[in-house]
Amino acid sequence: METRTMPTGVAVLKWYFIIIGILSIAGGVILPPFAVGILRLIMEASGEELAPLALAGGMAFLYGFLAVCWGVLHIFVGLYLGRGYGWTKIAALIIGTISILSGGAILGILCLFIYLLSEESKAFFQTQTEGR
């Protein structure tokens, strides 16, 4: 089997996915306790009922859980992207498209237009798929 070098764009995108995943996991872990602490301070200061604040705290935990899942997905795809598997290109394109829709324009533009759709990247993923 011939050895191929990873295109620079794919290498940059791989590390970008991993870094975004780590930051997303960190945010997902930090958000719920921080939000619940703030909500408790508000509740104690204002004497408000617990139900609306409990709902807000529950939403913080939900968003934290989703952020951790999103981060794990980014790291998983980032780790396998550099190996040239065809499914990782598709997964990265899907994540890039979702990122554009949710406001992560940098990741989306990097995925779709610069790195994964360049001729060098297409050849990298094509030869890896043919070898299987």
Q: What is the mean pLDDT of the chain?
A: 80
Can you give the pLDDT at residue 27?
93
Sequence-separated (6 or more) residues with CB below 8 Å from residue 118 = 7, 9
Residue with tokens 């951790």: 68
Can you give the pLDDT at residue 41?
77
18 vs 43 pLDDT, higher one: 18
Can you give the pLDDT at residue 3?
66
Segments in 47-131 forming alpha helices (H)? 50-81, 86-102, 105-109, 119-130
Percent of the chain with pLDDT over 90: 26
Can you give the pLDDT at residue 2?
58
Give residue-wise pLDDT tens across range 81-116: 888 888 888 898 888 878 777 666 666 676 666 666
- With beta carbons less than 8 A apart as the criterion, state whether 41 and 5 touch: no
